[in-house]
Amino acid sequence: MRCLLMTLPVMIAILGGSLVADDQQKLNFFENKIRPVLVEHCYECHAAHSKQLRGGLRLDDRESARRGGDSGPAVVPGDLNESLLLSALEYESFEMPPRGKLPQSVIDDFRTWIETGAIDPREPVEAAGTPSRTMGIDLEAGRQHWAFKPARRYDVPHPNDIAWCDGDIDRFLLAEIEAADLVPAPDADRQTLIRRAYFDLIGLPPSPEQIAAFVDDPLSTLDAFATVVDELLNSPHFGERWGRHWLDVARFAESTGGGRSLLYKHSWLYRDYVIEAFNSDKPFDQFIIEQIAGDLLPVDDYRSGQQQLTATAFLALGPTNYELQDKEQLRMDVIDEQIDTMGRAFLGMTLGCARCHDHKFDPIPTTDYYALAGIFRSTKTMEHSNVSNWLTRELPVDDAWQQRLDDHKTALTSLRAELDDRQSQANNIRKQLPLTMLDDVDAEVIAGSWSTSSGVQKFVGEAYSYGGGPGYEMRYRLPLKSPGTYDVRVSYSPHENRSPNAPFTVAHKEGETEIRIDQRMKPPIDELYASLGQFAFDDAAVITVSTAGAEGMVVADAVELVPVELDTNDEDGGSAAEQFAQLTTQLETLTSVISNLKSQIEETEKQAPPRPPETVVVTEEDTSEVGDYHVCIRGNAKNLGPEVPRGFLSVASNESGLHVPDEASGRLELARWIASEQNPLTARVAVNRIWKHLFGAGLVSTVDNFGVVGERPSHPELLDTLAVTFVENNWSVKSLIREIMLSRAYRLSSVHTQEAKAVDPENRLLSHQRRRRLEAEAIYDAILSISGQLDTTLGGDTVRADTKSEYGYEFDVGRRAVYLPVFRNQLPDLFTAFDFPDPNLSTGKRNVSTLSTQALLLMNSPFVADQARLAAQRLLADETIDNNARLNLLYHRALGRQPTAEEAEIAQSFLASDDDIDGKLSLDRWTSLCQAVIASLDFRYVE
Amino acid sequence: MTDILHRRRLLKSAACGFGSLALAGLCAEESSAANVTASNPLASLDPMLPARAKRIIFIFMQGGPSHVDTFDYKPLLFKEDGNEHEFRDARVLAKTGSIQKHRVMKPLWKFRQYGECGQWVSDLFPHIGEHVDDLCFVHSLHTNGVAHGPSTLFLHTGATNLIRPSMGAWVTYGLGTENQNLPGFITIAPSSANGGPRNFANAFLPADYQGTAIGRASQPMTEARIRHLTNSRLSQEEQQRQFELLQGLNRAQLGDDADDRQRAVLSSFELAWRMQMHAPGLMDLSEESTATQAMYGIGEKETDDFGRQCLLGRRMAERGVRFIQINYADNGNNPRWDQHSKMPLHEVHAKASDKPVAGLLADLKARGLLEDTLVWWGGEFGRNPFAQNSDGRDHNPKGFTHFLAGAGVKPGFAYGETDEFGHEAVVDKVHMHDLHATLLYALGLDHERLTYRYAGRDFRLTDIEGRIVDGIFS
């Protein structure tokens, strides 16, 4: 049908003659009704000369309109359903034009036009730069970019001054320095060096004693320094410092951020996992695999199981607006965040760019992005509800603990099974009892229009009736087989709007009795029934409920008569009564067994062993959603293009590339592909990050971007050689750090010559070290070490137990900065001021800003003032020393050095400028001085 | 490692030979700070285009005030009250993709015409009504997101879920600020919920452009302060002495090889000191006459608090603060104007804000500040013309009203329309991206050129969207 219609205009043209007039008419229709509308409402965004072509669609010539844009053909002559232009005008597929729907008459014109063959005389227009749907990425050309080529070991160069070099790193660097006709700076003096090393390795200042021990060490500087480096690498504070570097990249946080920021509660476990990974020198490839697919790895023992599960929080801890109402959008946003963070963190690639179109700079087609998206769509990250939830799982525990959990579970299961058994026995007996029950649907309404509802639990049958105000009455008439005494029970669903005095009237042998029930209270019998009392009846019981004199809503549900004692019946020779007595006895026995079992269960539940801690995870327990996914055209989650097989980055995969098994998400394969020594990016990116933290800049200065717009490495051969060595050393981070720190280059002074400044202003050649500003955490920890308040406890949950929300959270003072909770919408003031990275974004290189808010904080914040006072008290506590010695001590604690003569003079004159004797003013003065030293330039810099 | 301090000044100094802001971002990120002269990232910059406005006062009505009960008069709602009609409700669509019937609910307040222009305003805003001849209503706004968090972030940052700088940060990045003794972007009493600080954060822009909060939502304005602006422990003289000590030590530490960043630290202390001297004066409303205070409703129980915010906003405008946000907000997940039930509560919020906003408009006009100050009033979305629960309205991102005033927007004018029920914008639709583009344009900024390169890509407030709504300018 479609083919036939499509050829209609052609047929018309061929037939010619008599139809020419019709053709002309159609042409006129186009010129009068269609073209002006296209020009006025569409060309701005959909023509060759549009400032910005939208959706890859051009409507300014016939062929372009028929070919359509990213979403498919816009005009299919004769086919209204396939013509996206029409549904867009109708505001069905798209909403075009965006400023407002066109009048229906205009849309009808388009309908007519398309229906009658979409006659369109417009010839192709040459676009300025012909837009194409894909940018036609040339993967072979892309592979020529340095970062996609395999890394290899290079021969170590032979610089002239070989004696200057302490190792291969120095030889690589010196060769370039010499080539630029520069000479390296002198070595830093020992007190400068040890301060640098302490901050670099553990993020804390050396104590005056530690400084003295190193400065006075008779060994050569290199040997003495090696000892210090090894000590610091073995310190548990090493992981706190270097783990934090990784937490920047992992955009770690303890709340979700987004609109309604929720507490993750368990994410500190991931923080501690990272710290422990660095302390134990976990091979970096393993570290990568665990974070991407730890849940899919075999578990050797419970400890590795704990670590592997906890590590997957890397994928789950992103900033997410869980309240986003469009859940498909939410799902794709979370996947995008996972892909983008993973790409930046491990590969130094900006993969997120390929969500909407082929990457503009790097050889990453949008199909690669959706190949990865398929992997992450096959993984579960959250449960959806109005505000969706992330997932948590209990950690594996040691055998003894697990045994206790299992035993307890077994005990409970068997008790519960027995209870079930006994209860069904009891129910069977009850069924044999001459019980009588009447639900409200079968009762007789005497007055009022009772409403029915099933809104509040519990009730009998399908629903219950309720009424409020005067004029409601309902009567239950229950015929009885055997006369006797019965317990009369009524059911109701309790609620605070119910009547506290619902009147029930029981007509019995002795007359009528009114009983009022408080229907706000939970019914005592099975949470369903309340007893009106025991009454004697003959052949029937009549119970009436009304609203007379009742406040609130009166519920009328079921009435049940439970026999207590039956009269001996002459007709059956008393057998009914006998049987009844027998059954009641059995029931009594069972009831006591049941109640005994219930208390046993309760008791056992109380003695439950503690549950294992929960951790935030991603999971693949439900594999029903494993499968490939579609390209989302222009990143629109609702506009699906072709399906793409799950896979990895084409440009960084060799021909034989791994493939994803049908039944698996491919996440584990992805993790292994990233952590493979064959991957050209991973080891280079990791080595470069480590280098950055020791020299202030990476060999590739754009540490998160190894793509085409990233910087080229300053020393490509050194970077490659280090990367190869890193892999050969089993991806040992500590070995690499040690090698770098024991280079001569690391130990150089940060003072540079005029020549160096002129030739190499950015110090890319590393002819000297870089002066670096301390990070927020190091400033924070250093302040606490001067005041003597630093609590060096390791790890643990540090969010105060009663915390419901991050808003207004007051941060406790004492623990190292790495343990302060990281909330996405609330950080400690000092963190915000000193460029702590936005925990919403993966950050490999922090900003270093100089702001007046930093100055205000250092001058006026209660935190700094308090710590300055404590630091002053600590100095004044030792009465055996004089102010000179105190000043020395303060300088050593704060700046790792003696005051200069000029500083000493300024400080002494400040201290001396009052005639205080009683000590109070002296403490104030020392407080001011301590605060000024904390605020001073040298405090925040490492030379 | 390079310092971000000088990044934006590269534009002026053209140290890298590029002219655009984006490249300034790029080249500062990847070149040395050493070859750039130290300069102030907040220095006032010339706009890219002829500017109508020098500054913006944004009055944020958090929670979504109902346009059909305030400024968007729809007589049909009175006629159809109680009747069921099919509506493409945004929340139902997002969750189920289906169209359902809803019960039309008429506005709870009477509408009347005001001013020469005769625009309709409901009895919720009698004071603002008196100013309609200065107002330019945009009745055809629509936005992204359905829940508060996403839509509030979209209003402030142009993104529901991605991490983007706030509009105020973009504006100060593009224009700097006129008064170096005060921050360039100030938000008064901001909410900590629904995105909280992200609504005034710089995201990946340099930290110089982050908004400074004065006070916080739910804290009485009389207690509101800029953090760490004053020192409660030292007397003025003692602090002066300490400051001299500090700068003395700093100068002594500034070695022969000091770099620009180190010198900038000394300047940052000087600036902080000046701010400390000037900003408290800004906060001192007792400098204002009783008549002025009364105009804002200060001293009256219902309006005192928000009146103080509005008056403070004017004082900032006067002193050249570039982007001022006044928040009618709290810290709840269901913020102030969020009446899912009990629409009559709108009256409480209207009472609290009507007179202060009217006072601000009158005061700005009287002082000539309305000439170059653009006042912008609105919430993250509007509300539905049909009922939720018995007497509430759910969120409506598909059509709602904001108003603008001053700085060359057409006075006494209404732009765009919603459908006859007031549910969806249909005529001259203005997407939130468009409004952002238009507001930047009023400030002389081209939204397509106000870009910043981050993570290998040029970002802008309006993403790849946004068109300038010419029709609202005189």
Q: In what order do the strands lie in the sheet with A553-556?
A: A451-453, A464-468, A553-556
Tell me, yes or no, whether B39 lies in a domain.
Answer: no
| Mean of pLDDT values over A783-792 | 97
Contact criterion met (CB below 8 Å) for A132 and A357: no
Residue keyed to tokens 């993967």: A139
Distance CA B198, CA B195 (A): 5
Measured torsion, CA atoms of residues A515, A517, A523, A526, in degrees rounded to the nearest 10: 20
Q: What's the pLDDT score for residue B18?
A: 32
DSSP for B194-229? TTGGGGG--TTS-GGGSPEEES-TTS-GGG--BTT-
User: Would you place residue A436 in the very low, low, confident or very high pLDDT band (cuts 50, 70, 90)?
Assistant: confident
Q: What's the pLDDT score for residue B434?
A: 97
Distance CA A560, CA A542 (A): 11
Task: Kindly list the distances between the CA atom of residue A397 and the CA atoms of A299, A400, A614, B254, B270, in Å, as whole numbers in the listed order.
Answer: 12, 8, 11, 56, 57
What's the whole-model pTM score?
Answer: 0.77
Q: Which of A285-289, A329-333, A487-491 has the lowest mean pLDDT?
A: A329-333
Query: CB under 8 Å to A924, separation ≥6 — which residues?
Result: B238
User: Would you place residue A762 in the very low, low, confident or very high pLDDT band (cuts 50, 70, 90)?
Assistant: confident
What is the bridge-based pairing of β-strands B425-427 and B417-418?
antiparallel
Q: What's the pLDDT score for residue A11?
A: 42
End-to-end CA distance of chain B: 48
> What is residue A445's three-state secondary structure?
strand
Tell me, yes or no, whether B256 lies in a domain.
Answer: no
Q: Which of A426-435, A585-594, A674-683, A841-850 has the lowest mean pLDDT?
A: A426-435
Contact criterion met (CB below 8 Å) for A201 and A241: yes
Q: Residue B81 — φ and ψ, nearest 5°?
A: -50, 125
CA A165 to chain centre: 46
Token readout for A740 is 């770098």
Does B192 touch chain A if contact means CB atoms closer than 8 Å? yes
Q: What's the pLDDT score for residue B289?
A: 96
What is the bridge-based pairing of β-strands A511-517 and B395-396?
unpaired
Number of structural domains chain B divides into: 1
Cis peptide before A205 (omega within 30 of 0): no
Does B99 touch chain A if contact means CB atoms closer than 8 Å? no
Identify any residues that bridge with B137 across adjacent strands, giving them in sequence order.
Answer: B403, B414
Is pLDDT of A859 > 80? Answer: yes
- The residue type found at A125 is V
B366: exposed, middle or buried (Cβ count in 10 Å: 0-12, 13-18, 19+): exposed
Is pLDDT of A320 > 80? Answer: yes
Tell me, yes or no, whether B216 lies in a domain.
Answer: yes
Is pLDDT of B62 > 80? Answer: yes
User: Would you place residue B34 in the very low, low, confident or very high pLDDT band (cuts 50, 70, 90)?
Assistant: very low
User: Would you place residue B120 in the very low, low, confident or very high pLDDT band (cuts 50, 70, 90)?
Assistant: very high
- Hey, what domains does chain A have and what are their CATH numbers? 2-115 (no CATH), 320-395+619-674 (no CATH), 433-567 (2.60.120.260), 773-942 (no CATH)
What is the bridge-based pairing of β-strands B373-378 and B55-61?
parallel
Does A785 touch chain B if contact means CB atoms closer than 8 Å? no
Does A751 touch chain B if contact means CB atoms closer than 8 Å? yes
- The residue type found at B292 is T
Query: CB under 8 Å to A329, separation ≥6 — which residues?
Result: A637, B94
User: Would you place residue B98 in the very low, low, confident or very high pLDDT band (cuts 50, 70, 90)?
Assistant: confident
Distance CA A373, CA A665 (A): 10
Interface subset of B 351-410, CB within 8 angstroms of A: none
* Secondary structure element (H or E) that encloses residue A878, with its range: none
DSSP for A632-678? EGGG-TTSEEEEE-----GGGS-TT-----TTS-SHHHHHHHHTSTT
Contact criterion met (CB below 8 Å) for B445 and B169: no
Contact criterion met (CB below 8 Å) for B386 and B343: no
| Mean of pLDDT values over A687-697 | 97
Is pLDDT of B418 > 50? Answer: yes
Contact criterion met (CB below 8 Å) for B462 and B437: yes
Neighboring chain B residues of A245 at a CB cutoff of 8 Å: none
Query: CB under 8 Å to A49, separation ≥6 — which residues?
Result: A43, A60, A127, A128
Token readout for B139 is 């009745």
pLDDT tens sequence across A824-840: 988 999 998 898 998 98
* Secondary structure element (H or E) that encloses residue A20, with its range: helix A20-29
Q: How many other CB atoms sit within 10 Å of the CB of residue B2?
A: 23
Tell me, yes or no, whether B240 lies in a domain.
Answer: no
Tell me, yes or no, whether B30 lies in a domain.
Answer: no
Size of interface A-B (CB pairs under 8 A): 242
B361-366 long-range contacts, Cβ below 8 Å, gap at least 24? Answer: B361/B128, B361/B131, B361/B134, B361/B135, B361/B405, B362/B131, B362/B295, B363/B292, B363/B295, B363/B296, B363/B311, B363/B314, B364/B57, B364/B314, B364/B317, B364/B406, B365/B134, B365/B406
Does A325 touch chain B if contact means CB atoms closer than 8 Å? yes
A190-202 vs A221-234: helix axis angle to the nearest 10? 20
Q: What's the pLDDT score for residue A49?
A: 82
Does B253 touch chain A if contact means CB atoms closer than 8 Å? yes
Mean pLDDT score of chain A: 89
| Mean of pLDDT values over A310-314 | 97
Interface subset of A 354-373, CB within 8 angstroms of B: 360-362
Contact criterion met (CB below 8 Å) for A65 and A140: no
- The residue type found at B91 is R
More confident residue, A615 or B455: A615
Neighboring chain A residues of B161 at a CB cutoff of 8 Å: 258, 320-321, 324, 330, 333
Does A326 touch chain B if contact means CB atoms closer than 8 Å? yes
Is pLDDT of A550 > 70? Answer: yes
What CATH number corresponds to the domain at position B164? 3.40.720.10
Q: What is the largest CA-CA distance in chain A?
A: 127
| Mean of pLDDT values over A32-53 | 86
Contact B161 A845 (CB under 8 A): no
User: Would you place residue B293 in the very low, low, confident or very high pLDDT band (cuts 50, 70, 90)?
Assistant: very high
Is pLDDT of A101 > 80? Answer: yes
Name the DSSP letter for residue A17: G
Q: In what order do the strands lie in the sheet with A614-617?
A: A382-383, A389-394, A614-617
- Provide the domain limits for residue B101: 44-227+295-449
Distance CA A404, CA A399 (A): 9
Q: Write the residue in B259, B266, B428 that is nearest to A99 by C-beta.
A: B428
pLDDT tens sequence across A355-381: 888 887 888 889 999 999 999 999 999
Contact B428 A924 (CB under 8 A): no
What sections of A93-235 are H helices per DSSP? 104-115, 139-142, 168-179, 190-202, 208-215, 221-234
Q: What's the pLDDT score for residue B23?
A: 36
pLDDT tens sequence across A137-187: 788 888 889 999 999 999 999 999 999 999 999 999 999 999 999 999 999
- Nearest Cα of chain A lies from the Cα of B75 at a distance, in angstroms, of 22
Neighboring chain B residues of A851 at a CB cutoff of 8 Å: 207-208, 268
What is the bridge-based pairing of β-strands A451-453 and A444-447?
unpaired
Distance CA A929, CA A909 (A): 11
Cis peptide before B12 (omega within 30 of 0): no
More confident residue, B141 or A388: B141
Contact B160 A324 (CB under 8 A): yes
pLDDT tens sequence across A227-281: 999 999 999 999 999 999 999 999 999 999 877 889 998 999 999 999 999 999 9
Output the CA torsion sign for A500, A502, A507, A512.
positive
- The residue type found at A506 is V
A239: exposed, middle or buried (Cβ count in 10 Å: 0-12, 13-18, 19+): buried
Neighboring chain A residues of B428 at a CB cutoff of 8 Å: 99-100
Tell me, yes or no, whether B345 lies in a domain.
Answer: yes
Tell me, yes or no, whether B130 lies in a domain.
Answer: yes
| Mean of pLDDT values over B285-291 | 95
pLDDT tens sequence across A57-71: 989 888 888 888 888
User: Would you place residue B192 in the very low, low, confident or very high pLDDT band (cuts 50, 70, 90)?
Assistant: confident
Does A291 touch chain B if contact means CB atoms closer than 8 Å? no
A682-695 vs A236-249: helix axis angle to the nearest 10? 120
pLDDT tens sequence across A322-340: 888 888 889 999 999 999 9
Share of chain A above pLDDT 70, in %: 94
Tell me, yes or no, whether B469 lies in a domain.
Answer: no
| Mean of pLDDT values over B146-163 | 91
